[in-house]
A and B are shown apart, each in its own frame.
Chain A
Amino acid sequence: MDYTFHWRPVTKAIPDLLDAALLTLEAATLSMVIGIVLGMGLALLRLHGNRPLYIFATVWIEIARNTPALLQLFFFGFGLGAFGWHLSPFLIVLCGLSFNNAGYLAENFRGGFQAIPDTQIKAARCLGLTATQTYLRIVIPQVFRLVYHPMTNQLVWAVLMSSLGMLVGFRELSGETQFLASNTFRLFEFFLATAIIYYLLVKVVLGTSHLLSRKLFRY
């Protein structure tokens, strides 16, 4: 054990690391927004879609949940690339994460939709609300509360999973760390610092989510 720590390169690089952390947060959040919209759609297709649409949604969800996220990312990178469709590293990560998020969230949403009593829908329709109004004003707000915490988990998962971006050349927090570490040969120091930044990032996400939930759900 004669490893000597050199922290100077790390402290010098902190602004770069924080910039990269922002990029991580950006990719994760954006993939979450897209994932929520797509996941909601997939859940509705599984609940109400005709047979082809049901199968489409089921295949998506099965692949997203039962194959490694890394392979899903590779599909959007090397997979599409093989057909001459080259996405930027950011887009590869965004597509991969959104695909994965949508699959997981779809099942959460489906559970949420099924947990809303049928009588809520009947009561709304009796008041003359259309089916769309009933979904937008009565069902979905209640589903959001039910799936809020699973959704937060998924966002944390997306933040951490975005580290796979370094394998497709995306300079988010992990990619940037690898770049800096191999330039300075201070691998241990850099990845330790990055681990701490990830930890704090997740804590910020969880804290924000908690505060937001108190504001959103007062019932």
Chain B
Amino acid sequence: MIELKNVEKKFGDLRVLKGIDLSVKRGEVISIIGASGSGKSTMLYCINALEQIQGGQIVVDGIDVHDKSTNLNELRRHIGMVFQQWNSFPHLTVLENVALAPRLVLGKSKEEARHIAEKQLKHVGLGDKLDVYPTRMSGGQQQRLAIARALAMEPDYMLFDEVTSALDPELVGEVLDTLRLLSDDGMTMIVVTHEISFARDVSDRVAFFHQGVIEEIGPAQQLINDPQKARTQQFLSKVR
């Protein structure tokens, strides 16, 4: 379970997160929507401590993420993350991209790591690209590679930071399909997204962020189809 309790985040004097409370249960898929700059992505970065917090607490499976004694490398094994910019490692082949962390972090043998990587790459439909270098692939393929790379660590949670925002429109579908696949597998996911229909169809709950606070949160269908707060209605009417 991921629990955020009254989380505060500042960049200098700018308060980006103003007391966020949120808990995500195992197996749950939760989408975060809201305007750019509302703090959605920053919240994800705080969950695996890529960003520090200035107040409150984030607890993942009983571990206080921002406690000084927390082993972040150990914690991050359990939390996969995929970015807007896919960040494939250009000097490694597709297979090596995925096999690297299982070898270095989980201590798997070369054979085991290769096996894991092949399995995950097949899962996201890249089974025929094992020995290709990522720069030769489309954005959608590289984004699926990034997903396979995160999955190879067998994480308990996956964080997705606007993973389709940098893609050409015709490539968005294949990445969203991959996310659906994960959701069907029962993966616990926090998905920051601008894809409203995806949020409605795939997530259990949707949270609407506005200027660093959760303005409204609720079951996906209800929040998208019948928002209660004026700001949520306003936002949804603009993006639809």
Contact = CB atoms under 8 A, between A and B. Distances in A.
A122 interface: yes
Contact of B153 (A125, A128, A141, A219): A128
Give the residue among A122, A124, A128 with the most B Cβ atoms within 10 A.
A128
A21 B125 CA distance: 56
A130 interface: yes
Interface string A109-145: 0000000010110111111111001000110011001
A128 B77 contact: yes
Contacts of A125: 50, 76
B48 A126 contact: yes
B87 A123 contact: yes
Given A122-B83, A137-B104, A127 B74 contact: no
A217 B133 CA distance: 11
A219 B131 CA distance: 11
B68 interface: no
B89 interface: yes
Contacts of A119: 83, 85, 87
A218 interface: yes
Interface string B88-113: 01110000000011001100000000
A151 B78 CA distance: 40
Contact of A218 (B79, B133, B146): B133
A92 to B, nearest CB: 38
Contact of A127 (B90, B105, B133): B105
Contact of B101 (A117, A128, A141): A128
The SS class assigned to the A binding surface is helix
B139 interface: no
Nearest to B74: A128
Contacts of B53: none
Chain B interface size band reads 20 to 34
Contact of A120 (B48, B81, B89): B89
Give the residue among A127, A129, A218 with the most B Cβ atoms within 10 A.
A127
B135 interface: yes
Contacts of B101: 127-129
A76 B129 CA distance: 54
A129 B133 contact: no
B149 A127 contact: yes
B83 A123 contact: yes
A142 B90 contact: yes
Give the residue among A126, A138, A141, A218 with the most B Cβ atoms within 10 A.
A126
A123 B82 CA distance: 8
Contacts of B91: 141-142, 145, 217, 219
B150 interface: yes
Contacts of A217: 91
Contacts of B90: 142, 219
A124 B47 CA distance: 16
Nearest to A131: B73
B107 to A, nearest CB: 11
A141 B105 CA distance: 19
A128 B85 contact: no
Given A133-B104, A137-B100, A127 B150 contact: yes
19 contacts: A119-B85, A122-B83, A123-B87, A125-B50, A126-B50, A126-B76, A126-B79, A126-B80, A126-B81, A127-B105, A127-B149, A128-B73, A128-B77, A128-B101, A129-B104, A137-B100, A142-B91, A218-B133, A219-B91
Given A126-B48, A128-B153, A137-B100, 8 more contacts: A117-B87, A123-B83, A123-B87, A128-B74, A138-B89, A141-B91, A142-B91, A145-B91
Closest 4 CB pairs of A and B: A123-B87, A219-B133, A127-B101, A128-B105
